[in-house]
Amino acid sequence: MTATQPYIPRAGDRKAAHDRFRSSKRAELRIWWREIDRVLLVLILVLMAIGTAAVAAASPASARRLSTSAVQLPDLYFYWAHLRWQFLGLITLFGASMLSRENARRLGVVLAAGMLFMLMLVPVLGNEVNGAKRWINLGMSFQPSEFLKPAFAIALAWVLSWRLRDPDLPVMWIVTGLMGLVGMLLMMQPNFGDTLLFAGVWFVLMLLSGVSVQRIGIAAGLGAMLMAATYFLYDNARHRIDDFIGGGTAFDQVDLAQRTLLAGGWTGSGLWLGIRKMNLPEAHTDYIFSVIGEEFGLIVCAIVVILYLALIARVLVRLVDEEDLFTVLAGAGLATQIGGQAFINILVNLQLFPSKGMTLPLVSYGGSSTIAVCLAAGLLLAITRRNPFLSRETPGLRALINVSLPSKPGRQKQEKRA
């Protein structure tokens, strides 16, 4: 018997394996490009491009405001930093968008568990900034609540989809308990604005999951009682609501934001020609919409609002004929999270909502928050991926909407005949 000779790969074999690897990667990219919602991707990239120009306009105001006698920040300090964070955000966005739905679900659930644990550590190990303890430092400072936002929507959608396996599972109480835990941890920071946003995502998913209207009404009533208790027990929220109702003064942030927003008229004063933005706190983050109004005009502000509306509408259109309950709920939850945060920020700038310290997603300057929003957008693209050659036999979101609507007598007769 002859001894078996060890296999030694030849140069030609290595080249063939390398070629097969490259061809498989090209095939994966072709599949991704075929299945991705390119309209939704364009809307996201356009908002990010507007954000780049807006941060360039707001950077001088924030840089001069934060400069001291010892340290002078250059006017475009936040602009160049924003470009670096956007680059990392784009890598995160495209990387997440290439995940399959199953892997996107797994990532969301694992991330939700990890960020919920980090949120529990914030009151103990967190760093206090501007009177709120929301940040935690693990080599890099970040807000666990920012990364919990997309993960929370996916985790709740996953739990609510269990109803298809066993209708008797108490999924409503599970997701309500998760919402209560997250709300309690956020209010300990305190972070009233994000608590409202998480509650909005929870409420939308409960509506779409087919929970009875009576149970939703009970939950909404409890939520209203908690809101009333917050007003009397939470001093920061009470002061902001009182200032909002009372109209405030010319030196309030919200009033300054509205004055800055309207200062440019319909067409704006032009890039770096705005004056009122120089007195505006957090011009590059919370009040960047006002800077857009002063330097680029109310017409551009209207375009930004239309883009957010188009993003939400595009997701809903994509989900109308979707057959998987988890996909419908996760996509709707992520769209609610991005759109809800955007419109809260816009309403604050319009002096139609109390100040919440919430950024404009995909537009405002941010470090870890930019990566978190891009992760949410990437997961939304991954979840809404669809093979264009597969036909849909179930009505998807349309069925969930029709369940909540009363059937007409004529329609009931037609259904019986069928």
Confidence of residue 11 (pLDDT cuts 50, 70, 90): low
d(CA 167, CA 170): 8
| C-beta contacts of 191-197 below 8 A and 24+ residues apart | 191/132, 191/134, 191/145, 192/230, 192/234, 192/236, 192/237, 192/356, 193/344, 193/356, 193/357, 193/358, 194/145, 194/149, 194/358, 196/344, 196/356, 197/149, 197/337, 197/340, 197/341, 197/344, 197/358
Task: Kindly report, residue by residue over 53-102, the tens digit of the pLDDT.
Answer: 999 999 998 898 888 778 888 989 999 999 999 999 999 999 999 998 89
> Has residue 177 got a pLDDT over 50?
yes
pLDDT tens per residue across span 101-137:
899 999 999 999 999 999 998 888 777 766 667 778 7
pLDDT tier at 405, thresholds 50, 70, 90: very low
Average pLDDT for residues 182-193, to the nearest whole number? 84
Spatial CB neighbours of 12, under 8 Å, sequence gap ≥ 6: none
User: What DSSP character marks residue 278?
Assistant: G
Residues 6+ apart with CB under 8 A from 72: none
| Residue that the structure tokens 């264009």 belong to | 388
Closest C-alpha among 363, 344, 342, 362 to residue 354: 344
φ and ψ of 135, to 5 deg = -105, 150
- pLDDT, tens digit, for every residue of 285-337? 889 999 999 999 999 999 999 999 999 999 998 888 788 889 999 999 999 99
Average pLDDT over residues 244-251: 51
Could you give the CA distance from residue 348 to residue 341 in angstroms, rounded to a whole number? Answer: 11
Secondary structure of residue 47 in the 3-state scheme: helix
Q: What share of the chain is helix, strand, coil (3-state, %, to 5)?
A: 70, 5, 30
**What would the DSSP string read from start to end of 134-176?**
EEEESSSEE-HHHHHHHHHHHHHHHHHGGGGT-TTS-HHHHHH
CA angle 396, 201, 340 (to 5 degrees): 105
Beta-carbon contacts of 113 under 8 Å, excluding residues fewer than 6 positions away, are 155
Structure tokens at 83: 């470009």
Confidence (pLDDT) at 417:
43
Cis omega (within 30 of 0) for bond into 190: yes
For residue 279, give the nearest of 53, 55, 64 by alpha carbon.
Answer: 64
Q: For the residues 126-153, what does the mean pLDDT come to?
A: 81
Cα gap 225→368, rounded to integer Å: 34
- 101 Cβ neighbours under 8 A, 6+ residues apart: 324, 326, 327, 382, 383, 385
Report whether 295 contacts 57 (CB < 8 A): yes
Judged against a pLDDT cut of 90, whether residue 399 lies above it is answered with no
Q: What is the mean pLDDT of the chain?
A: 81
Q: What is the token pair recorded at 3?
A: 């001894």
Q: Name every residue whose Cβ is closer than 8 Å to that of residue 56 and which is 6 or more positions away in sequence.
A: 76, 79, 271
pLDDT (0 to 100) of residue 94: 95
